[in-house]
Amino acid sequence: MSVVGFDVGFLNCYVAVARAGGIETVANEYSDRCTPSCASIKHRVVSLFSLIKQVVTNCKNTVQGFKKFHGRAFSDPYVQSLKENMVYDIAQMPTGTTGIKVMYMEEEKVFSIEQVTAMLLTKLKETAENALKKPVADCVVSVPCYYTDAERRSVVDAAQIAGLNCLRLMNETTAVALAYGIYKQDLPAPEEKARNVVFVDLGHSGYQTSVCAFNKGKLKVLATACDPLLGGKDFDEVLVKHFCEEFGKKYKLDVKSKPRALVRLYQECEKLKKLMSANSSDLPLNIECFMNDIDVTGKMNRAQFEEMCADIWARVEPPLQSLLEQAKLKKEDIYAVEIVGGASRIPAVKERISKFFGKELSTTLNADEAVARGCALQVHLPLMSCLIQIPL
């Protein structure tokens, strides 16, 4: 049996295994190391791939973004606030928790969040088994540092449904720190002053920061701070709102009335956001047969985008300030600032973090795969369990 690390994100998942003397992020059957965090339920088939098309053509039965529902009651105000921007339906389970309503075997059925997550974990388990050529039962699964006990128990239940023995849930901030420190050869000796490193993880659905003290063979997490409501999705929302208004005026289209059109717009806005990170000139947004056989077109540049996101930029610095206050450190005490997460690639985000600490940012880690690698490292380093000084 082999133990693997699973990073189950809001949009994408990664699977890491230890072999050949190192940690490897394994690819799925499509030779892609990134697996979409969604399940498309159609007739009797639960499909986890070819999902870019499924999200559009089978949008009512394609479940994504369900990570936010773990351990939450259906009546939770936060759950109710998410309903507006979802193209699939949610419903209340007999236990009061949130379920997802889909058509399965030609009848309406409500799946629990644990069941849907188990579908995803089952596929990730198969990916790991195909790479290792042996059965996989034990795993370490990453969770955001702000998850409550109920949310964590929900993830463990999902792993059990998938036939996995979850050895531990590992905070994403701790996984990133472990992936950073394990191969560093120049860390100070245990008796010397520790090296303080800040990790900033801005993903699609959450913003997490931590500051860790490193010595050879020792990692101590000094403090963590977060904004669970800030993520890459907020930037997408700004673009979607802008183009919904523009297309309404220009083409007389009510985009939000058509789930399929709304999904396509979200996909195109995410692509546009990524392009603007590398290009400051005017960029086009073109969608053929968008609604009612109408082709739509628009444009955006980075300066406009940054102006539209003024309220979001203001939320980047408070968790960093809270982090230093909790750890009782000054900016001069920080050796390096490492950034990970997909949204950390946005130039304005990097600029504000760099300006706050007054130093160049470090990108020595793979921004997408660092969490999964940290999880895989944890299970193959029994001594590290006692050397990592934080409740995991």
Residues belonging to the active site: 7, 67, 172, 201
Cα-flanking dihedrals φ and ψ of residue 196, to 5°?
-90, 125
User: Kind and range of the H or E element at 123?
Assistant: helix 113-132
> CA 113, 115, 121 angle in degrees (round to 5)?
105
User: What are the tokens at 87?
Assistant: 């193209």
Is the torsion defined by CA of 303, 307, 312, 315 positive or negative?
A: positive
User: Kind and range of the H or E element at 60?
Assistant: none
Q: How many CB atoms lie within 10 A of CB 179?
A: 28
Q: What is the CA radius of gyration of the chain?
A: 21
CB distance 10 to 204 below 8 Å: yes
Please give the biggest Cα pair distance in the chain.
70
> CA 346, 347, 348 angle in degrees (round to 5)?
95
Find, among 234, 160, 243, 232, the residue nearest to 201 by Cα: 232
User: What are the tokens at 312?
Assistant: 């979001």
Find, among 292, 289, 293, the residue nearest to 268 by Cα: 289
Per the rule left: phi > 0, alpha: psi between -120 and 50, beta: everything else, 106 is: left
Three-class SS state of 143:
strand
Beta strands in the chain (DSSP E): 2-8, 12-19, 22-25, 35-36, 38-42, 45-47, 62-64, 89-92, 98-104, 107-112, 136-143, 165-171, 195-202, 207-215, 218-227, 283-291, 294-300, 334-340, 388-389
